[in-house]
Amino acid sequence: MRFTRILLLVAVAAAVAGVLVPSAGALAFPDMPCPVNTGGIIKICPQGETGKAYSLQLQGREGTGCVPYVTFKASGELPPGLTLSSSGLITGTPTQVGERTFWVEMKDIPAAEGGPSWCNESPPNSTQRQFSITVVLGLQIAQRQSVLTPGQLNTPYSLQFSAVGGASPTWTVSSGSLPAGITLNSSTGLLAGTPTATGAYTFKITATAGGRSDSQTYSMSVVEPLKLTAAKPVGEVGIAFQLAPQATGGKQGYTFSLDGVLPAGLSVDNATGAISGKPTAPGAATVKLTVRDALGLTSTLDLHFNIVGRLLITKTPLKAATVGKAYKVTLKSTAGARPRTWLLLGGRPGSLPKGMKLNARTGVISGTPTKSGTYRLRLQVTDALGAHSAAGFVLKVTG
């Protein structure tokens, strides 16, 4: 009776002091999350999928060893892409299909190594068990880019989604919204339509097949159509040339590139697309000028250059005129850009004989002179590009 009382007093004193002495039985793995196979030998863990993050926490069975103060170590090969940490966490992204069987050792952490004060076994308790993880081909959307090709307002758009690891998946927009005018075909994964409103859109596409699924979030912009325009590129040898193409639509931040050979004497500014210089030789050339915006959209324009020779007036002696008789002569020039304009600059006496005139558009001097004399004239021709050439002429009018 006295012995029983002494035991009770010791138990009460230990309880009052808050001292608990857990059981430190043999370590063991629980049945979940990796139950044993039908042969009762290998523990089968949840399967993984290639390309999909995998996470599995191993732990010791409660009431055994010094759980949860245990450490883990693997021997053998885990599925490629997976690793086991000392805390028992299997993580990673499987990269190959197939089954891998490996051993895992679980060992107590004694007090001397940082475990609980009551865990003083030496050597520490440990146990080993075979585990198996099977990796199957994961369903994965092939289009992994987060930013899709931009759409252009009122311009047809098409992008085909595809997936590997599953036959004939079903496609859905699981969050966000598509641009107005664009739809996703749930059977084929075709994203298509004609955008009807500009803006920036974010949405998640999910593919599902055979109980597996994959999702990817995308952003997509819809902008005004990117266009490139320019005046007809006509130049003249020796005359300063300037062509400034205009880009509109898309997203600001344009850059330009040129495919082809410009006429001699001309160069392009890739920042602005401007083409300038002084042509050094006549001839024709065709180049492609491309503008790219900040979203990667492009627009290309064919430029057909026509470089003409330098404008020169043809100095041919004028035939004589007779008072009272109709007269007509056409002034001539070579090269230059049409149309040309003629002008009487002056001379002595600085004007045509009375009864005669100069047609500024055609260069024809015509009329019926009324007074004889010698007229020294200075005539000029100007072309469409502003080049001009002048020469002196003598017109004699006889009585």
Whose tokens are 């979030």? That residue is 217
Architecture of domain 227-308: Sandwich (2.60)
The tokens of 181 are what?
């005018």
Architecture of domain 140-223: Sandwich (2.60)
Q: What is the percent of the chain with per-residue pLDDT over 70, rounded to a whole number?
A: 94
Residue 118 reports pLDDT greater than 90: no
**10 Å Cβ neighbour count for 20?**
8
Average pLDDT over residues 72-84: 97
The tokens of 314 are what?
């043809």
Cis peptide before 123 (omega within 30 of 0): yes
Angle formed at CA 333 by CA 331 and CA 338, multiple of 5 degrees = 110
Q: What is the percent of the chain with per-residue pLDDT over 90, rounded to a whole number?
A: 81
C-alpha to C-alpha distance for 337 and 355, rounded to whole angstroms: 31
pLDDT in tens, 256-290: 999 999 999 999 999 999 999 999 999 999 999 99
C-alpha to C-alpha distance for 88 and 54, rounded to whole angstroms: 14
Mean of pLDDT over the chain:
91
The residue count for the chain: 399
Q: How many C-alpha atoms does 227 have within 13 Å on its Cβ side?
A: 8
Residue 13 reports pLDDT greater than 80: no
**10 Å Cβ neighbour count for 270?**
11
With 0-12 / 13-18 / 19 or more C-beta atoms within 10 angstroms meaning exposed / middle / buried, residue 368 is middle
pLDDT band for 167, please (50, 70, 90 cuts). Answer: confident
Domain boundaries, given as residue ranges, for the chain: 22-136, 140-223, 227-308, 312-398
Residue 19 reports pLDDT greater than 60: no
Common-topology check for domains 140-223 and 227-308:
yes
Name the DSSP letter for residue 64: B
For strand 126-136 and strand 43-44, is the pairing parallel, antiparallel, or unpaired? parallel
Check residue 39 and give its pLDDT.
82
Q: How many C-alpha atoms does 313 have within 13 Å on its Cβ side?
A: 22
With 0-12 / 13-18 / 19 or more C-beta atoms within 10 angstroms meaning exposed / middle / buried, residue 325 is exposed
Check residue 351 and give its pLDDT.
87
What SS3 string covers 206-226? Answer: EEEECCEEEEEEEEEEEECCC
Check residue 202 and give its pLDDT.
98
Residue 348 reports pLDDT greater than 90: no
C-alpha to C-alpha distance for 334 and 308, rounded to whole angstroms: 10
C-alpha to C-alpha distance for 378 and 394, rounded to whole angstroms: 9
Candidates 2.30.30.100, 3.40.950.10, 3.40.50.970, 2.60.40.10; correct CATH number of 22-136? 2.60.40.10
pLDDT in tens, 32-57: 999 999 888 999 999 999 988 999 99
Check residue 25 and give its pLDDT.
64
Check residue 368 and give its pLDDT.
97
The tokens of 336 are what?
């230059």
CATH fold of the domain at 312-398: Immunoglobulin-like (2.60.40)
For the four alpha carbons of 362, 364, 370 and 375, in that order, the dihedral sign comes to: positive
pLDDT band for 149, please (50, 70, 90 cuts). Answer: very high
C-alpha to C-alpha distance for 76 and 107, rounded to whole angstroms: 17
End-to-end alpha-carbon separation of the chain, Å? 170
Coil/strand/helix, residue 4: helix
Q: Is the pTM of this model over 0.75?
A: no
C-alpha to C-alpha distance for 368 and 372, rounded to whole angstroms: 11
Residue 27 reports pLDDT greater than 80: yes
Residue 73 reports pLDDT greater than 60: yes
Strand partners of residue 152: 223
